[in-house]
Structure 1
Amino acid sequence: MDRDRASGDAQLAAIVQHSSDAIVSKDLDGVVRSWNAAAERLFGWTAEEIVGQSIRRVIPEDRQDEEDAILARIRAGEIVPKFETLRLHKDGAAIPLAITVSPIRDAEGRVVGASKIANDLREMTDLRRELRESQRQFEALAQNIPQLAWMADSKGWIYWYNQRWYDYTGTTLEEMQGWGWKAVHHPDHIDRVVERIQHAWDTGEDWEDTFPLRGTDGEFRWFLSRASALKDDAGNVILWCGTNTDITEQRESNERIRLLMDEVNHRARNILATIQAIVRQTMRGADSDMVAALDRRIEALSANHDLLSDQNWSGVLLRDLVVSQVSHVGGLADGRIELSGPDHLRLQPRPAEALGLAIHELATNAMKYGALSEAEGRVAVSWSVEGRGAEAIFRMEWRESGGPPVEPPTRTGFGSVIIARNPQMALRGAVEWRPEPDGVVWTVSAPADGVVLG
Structure 2
Amino acid sequence: MSKISSEALLAAVVENSDDAIVSKTLDGVVMSWNRGAERLFGWTADEMIGQSIRKLIPDDRQAEEDAIIRQIVAGRQVSSMHSVRVRKTGAPVRVSVTISPIRGADGTIIGASKIARDVGALEHARQQLAESERRFKTLADNISQLAWIADKEGWIFWYNQRWFEYTGTTLKDMEGWGWKAVHHPDHVDRVVERVQRSWDTGELWEDTFPLRGKDGTYRWFLSRARPIHDENGEIFCWFGTNTDVTEQRVQAESIQTLLQEVNHRSKNMLTLIQSLARRSAPGNDEFLKRFVRRLEALAANQDLLVRRAWTVVDLRELVEAQLSFAIGIAGSNLEFDGPDVEIGSRAAETLGMALHELATNALKYGALSAEGGTVRIEWSVAEDRFAIDWHETGGPAVEEPTRVGFGTSVIRDIPRTALDADTTLDFAPDGLRWHFAAPMKAVAGKSV
Deviations 1:363-418 (A, max 9, x none): 2222333333344433332222223xxxx222222223344443333221111110
Does residue 427 of structure 2 align to residue 430 of structure 1?
no
- Per the normalisation by structure 2, the TM-score is 0.86
Query: Is the CA contact 2:23–2:112 (under 8 Å) kept in the aligned structure 1?
Result: yes
- Residue 341 of structure 1 corresponds to 338
- Residue 242 of structure 2 corresponds to 244
Does residue 163 of structure 2 align to residue 165 of structure 1?
yes
Query: Is the CA contact 1:101–1:115 (under 8 Å) kept in the aligned structure 2?
Result: yes
Query: Is the CA contact 2:23–2:33 (under 8 Å) kept in the aligned structure 1?
Result: no
Residue type of the alignment partner of 1:424:
R
Deviations 1:105-128 (A, max 9, x none): 899999876554433222221221
**CA 1:394–1:40: 2 relative to 1, 3 Å:** farther
Residue type of the alignment partner of 1:357:
M
Counterpart mapping for 1:199-214 below 5 A: 199-214=197-212
Q: Select 2:431's aligned residue among 439, 443, 449.
A: 439
Does residue 413 of structure 2 align to residue 421 of structure 1?
yes
Per the TM alignment, residue 133 of structure 1 is displaced from its structure 2 partner at its CA by 1.4
Q: Select 2:302's aligned residue among 301, 305, 313.
A: 305
Q: Distance in 2 between matches of 1:320 and 1:283?
A: 34
Unaligned stretches of 5+ in structure 2? none
Q: Distance in 2 between matches of 1:373 and 1:51?
A: 118
Unaligned stretches of 5+ in structure 1? none
Q: Distance in 2 between matches of 1:33 and 1:394?
A: 92
- Residue 231 of structure 2 corresponds to 233
Deviations 1:273-307 (A, max 9, x none): 22223223332212x33322222211211111111
Query: Is the CA contact 1:337–1:379 (under 8 Å) kept in the aligned structure 2?
Result: yes
Residue type of the alignment partner of 1:359:
L
**CA 1:434–1:39: 2 relative to 1, 3 Å:** farther
Query: Is the CA contact 1:331–1:337 (under 8 Å) kept in the aligned structure 2?
Result: no
SS in 1 for 2:51: coil
Which shows bigger deviation, 171-180 or 426-435? Answer: 171-180
Per the TM alignment, residue 70 of structure 1 is displaced from its structure 2 partner at its CA by 4.8
Counterpart mapping for 1:89-104 below 5 A: 89-101=87-99
SS in 2 for 1:296: helix
Query: Is the CA contact 1:325–1:359 (under 8 Å) kept in the aligned structure 2?
Result: yes
Query: Is the CA contact 1:420–1:432 (under 8 Å) kept in the aligned structure 2?
Result: yes
Q: Select 1:361's aligned residue among 357, 360, 365.
A: 357
Q: Distance in 1 between matches of 2:329 and 2:6?
A: 102
Residue type of the alignment partner of 2:128:
E
Q: Percent identity?
A: 52
**CA 1:333–1:32: 2 relative to 1, 3 Å:** farther
Counterpart mapping for 1:66-145 below 5 A: 66-68=64-66, 70=68, 80-101=78-99, 115-145=113-143
Query: Is the CA contact 1:24–1:32 (under 8 Å) kept in the aligned structure 2?
Result: no
Query: Is the CA contact 2:330–2:368 (under 8 Å) kept in the aligned structure 1?
Result: no
Does residue 153 of structure 2 align to residue 152 of structure 1?
no
Per the TM alignment, residue 135 of structure 1 is displaced from its structure 2 partner at its CA by 1.6
- The Cα RMSD (Å) is 3.3
Residue type of the alignment partner of 1:207:
W
Query: Is the CA contact 1:325–1:360 (under 8 Å) kept in the aligned structure 2?
Result: yes
SS in 2 for 1:256: helix
Q: Distance in 1 between matches of 2:280 and 2:252?
A: 41
Residue type of the alignment partner of 2:219:
R
Per the TM alignment, residue 77 of structure 1 is displaced from its structure 2 partner at its CA by 7.6
Q: Distance in 1 between matches of 2:71 and 2:183?
A: 61
Residue type of the alignment partner of 2:305:
L
Counterpart mapping for 1:255-404 below 5 A: 255-286=253-284, 288-330=285-327, 334-343=331-340, 345-387=341-383, 392-404=384-396
Deviations 1:316-359 (A, max 9, x none): 1001111222222238985433322222x111101110000111
Q: Distance in 1 between matches of 2:241 and 2:395?
A: 61
Deviations 1:92-115 (A, max 9, x none): 443222233456789999987655
Query: Is the CA contact 2:20–2:40 (under 8 Å) kept in the aligned structure 1?
Result: no
SS in 1 for 2:444: coil
Q: Distance in 2 between matches of 1:351 and 1:7?
A: 96
SS in 1 for 2:186: coil
- Residue 58 of structure 1 corresponds to 56
**CA 1:357–1:56: 2 relative to 1, 3 Å:** same
Query: Is the CA contact 1:25–1:113 (under 8 Å) kept in the aligned structure 2?
Result: no
Which shows bigger deviation, 416-425 or 171-180? Answer: 171-180
Matched residues, number:
445
**CA 1:104–1:285: 2 relative to 1, 3 Å:** same
Query: Is the CA contact 1:22–1:38 (under 8 Å) kept in the aligned structure 2?
Result: yes
SS in 2 for 1:226: strand
Deviations 1:242-277 (A, max 9, x none): 322222222222222222111111111111222223
Q: Distance in 2 between matches of 1:78 and 1:133?
A: 35
Which shows bigger deviation, 292-301 or 168-177? Answer: 168-177
Query: Is the CA contact 1:346–1:453 (under 8 Å) kept in the aligned structure 2?
Result: no
Query: Is the CA contact 2:399–2:429 (under 8 Å) kept in the aligned structure 1?
Result: no
Q: Distance in 2 between matches of 1:209 and 1:369?
A: 51
Query: Is the CA contact 1:332–1:338 (under 8 Å) kept in the aligned structure 2?
Result: no
Q: Distance in 1 between matches of 2:15 and 2:424?
A: 92
Residue type of the alignment partner of 2:438:
A
Per the TM alignment, residue 6 of structure 1 is displaced from its structure 2 partner at its CA by 8.5
**CA 1:41–1:363: 2 relative to 1, 3 Å:** farther
Q: Distance in 2 between matches of 1:333 and 1:368?
A: 12
- Residue 27 of structure 1 corresponds to 24
Residue type of the alignment partner of 1:252:
V
Query: Is the CA contact 1:393–1:448 (under 8 Å) kept in the aligned structure 2?
Result: yes
Query: Is the CA contact 1:151–1:159 (under 8 Å) kept in the aligned structure 2?
Result: yes
